[in-house]
Amino acid sequence: MRRIAALAFLAAASSAGCDDMRGRAPGTPAGVLPAAACDPADAVETGVQGQIPFPLRSAGAFAGFQCNLHIAARIRGEGAGWQHVFFADASGHRCSYYDTAATAENRLHQGVVVVDATDVDHPVVTTYLVSPAMLDPLESLRVNDRRGLLAAARDLSAANGPEVELYDLSGDCRFPRLLSPPLQPASDAAAANGAARGNDTAAANGAPAGVAVTRGDEGNFAPDGLTYYATHLRSGTIVAVDVSDPAKPRRLAQWSMPSNQRTSGLSLNAEGTRIYLTLYGRGLASPAGSAEGLDNGIVIADVTEVQARRPRPRILPVATLLWGDGSAAHETLPVTIGGRRYLVVTDEGGAGDPNTPGWTAACNAGLPPWAMARLIDISDEAAPRLVARLSLAINDAGRCGKVIPDLAGLTGFTYGSHSCSVDRADDATTLACGWFESGVRVFDIRQPAQPREIAYFVPASVTVPSPGSLNNRRAANGRPDHCSAQVRLDPAAGALFTTCQDNGFLALRFERAAWPFDSGGAH
């Protein structure tokens, strides 16, 4: 049943704090993080922190950088997409799941790749999930540990109900078992499309021509695994789905954001009563952003009525926090550090538009040209407070003259953060993020106001097309790889697992006791 209520977030939460014109909260240092301390034997960055200088790009075969991390194993397969999620079953199998691009051309295997990563040095692909939602899950691919479920959203249209697929991982995570009823097969157009994020056309979803659909872009479970929330970026729609019976997912409620306001990523608190949504807005160096004011940041809202399964449940705004030194707020991740509650938040864009004029405009305004992660204190949910930016040297406006020439002729995702993970949600010590062309970056966050970088791995360019990649799919152009996915940190093995779009699945080991930490780093 479809129930829509407008969410006047920006007006209802107008008492919440905003950053000033530089996006800087009072007391927050403006500088970039110190670079990680590397061993002389490492293949360290030759430019500024986070940079792949133009001469290395122009050679067409960038060899990669590494600091305190080395590659233990790789499954390139046919490339990777946006997300990497993971689960450990009761038998001790440690499994990874990652999406690939929604295209059938030159492919042996489509869909979500399942990897048994129990042996760090010898990960093995066990199967591929090719049900309709798994062919193009965008960023809706999620795992719920408590119930052992894997989910993805294909279509949220009211006509057909919420097309959310659920798989059981608890028996043997290497071979997920489809629980939800089979969806209508995707059309050839859907199987073959390489549509951009947020495409909401009927053809991209296998619907008949002329049928309006609401595409599921991102999603996440409530921690108890009984509710799955999905968002549609272009329409600003949020849908709550009851998945208490995985064989019969049903819509609980649907809400829409205010006019022209978009939302992307979401997460929930441990009780499932608060939702942390992004406001996918513009930066201050964007012409539209500077004219219309701040609209990029996060919303904290009360979803108690959904959690309690009340009829016609409402979503009630609690607070907003906005900033102008970034754009396209993308992901929220709730954690505790030292007994206090925080959100890790990433943007997908910097303060300007994602092209050379936009990056230049940001630099000229003294603002960051590319996205970064942030730590926000939410101990008082009515007054969220920015604590730290995880800014690399590439975001220093004073170095733009060195960095912008690297990206001549490029637009969209280049440098900048995307998805982050922690070693554990409670008492987190370590944050690891996919940073697109800046690779995988790892940070010590035990002192939230003073995070420090401890390791990075920037993969080598792939010069043979990866048809399942979103980066180097068709042309062997040697462009630097894009690392955009979540990271699983394994303290017992001293390793991390992730995907990069051309290189596929990566198992990386820490060197020289860089991680886990002597105290507080192990489960």
At 15-48, the pLDDT tens digits run 344 443 333 333 333 579 999 999 999 999 999 9
pLDDT of residue 205: 34
pLDDT of residue 7: 53
For residues 129 and 95, give the distance between their C-alpha atoms in angstroms, rounded to a whole number.
Answer: 14
pLDDT at 234 over 70: yes
pLDDT of residue 288: 82
pLDDT tens track for 445-462: 999 999 999 999 999 998
Beta bridge partners of residue 337, listed in sequence order? 340
For residues 72 and 100, give the distance between their C-alpha atoms in angstroms, rounded to a whole number.
Answer: 22
Backbone angles phi, psi at 402, to 5 degrees: -85, -30
Find the mean pLDDT for residues 165-170.
Answer: 97
The domains located in the chain, with CATH, are 9-510 (2.130.10.10)
Mean pLDDT lowest for which of 9-23, 133-147, 378-392?
9-23
Helices then strands, counting H and E runs in the chain, come out as: 8, 29
pLDDT of residue 88: 97
Question: Are 415 and 402 a contacting pair, CB within 8 Å?
Answer: no
Provide the Cα torsion 82, 87, 93, 96; round to 10°: 0
Q: Using pLDDT thresholds of 50, 70 and 90, give the confidence band for residue 474.
A: low
For residues 437 and 416, give the distance between their C-alpha atoms in angstroms, rounded to a whole number.
Answer: 7
pLDDT of residue 189: 33
Mean pLDDT lowest for which of 12-16, 395-399, 497-501?
12-16
Question: Are 489 and 422 a contacting pair, CB within 8 Å?
Answer: yes
pLDDT tens track for 38-88: 999 999 999 999 999 999 987 667 999 999 999 999 999 999 999 999 999
Q: Using pLDDT thresholds of 50, 70 and 90, give the confidence band for residue 105.
A: confident
Question: Are 216 and 155 a contacting pair, CB within 8 Å?
Answer: yes
pLDDT at 256 over 90: no
pLDDT at 259 over 90: no
Q: Name the residue with higher pLDDT: 432 or 213.
A: 432
In the numeric block, which tokens belong to residue 280? 């996918």
pLDDT at 4 over 50: no
Q: Using pLDDT thresholds of 50, 70 and 90, give the confidence band for residue 160.
A: low
Find the mean pLDDT for residues 377-395.
Answer: 97
pLDDT of residue 258: 77
What is the edge-to-edge ordering of all strands in the sheet holding 112-116? 84-88, 94-98, 112-116, 124-129
Left, alpha or beta for 204 (phi > 0: left; psi -120 to 50: alpha)? alpha
Give me the chain's average pLDDT, please.
87
Find the mean pLDDT for residues 238-259.
Answer: 90
Mean pLDDT lowest for which of 190-194, 485-489, 518-522?
190-194
pLDDT at 223 over 90: yes
Instruction: Give percent of the chain above pLDDT 90.
Output: 72
pLDDT of residue 215: 66
Burial of 18 (0-12, 13-18, 19+ CB in 10 A): middle
Find the mean pLDDT for residues 503-514.
Answer: 96
pLDDT of residue 380: 97
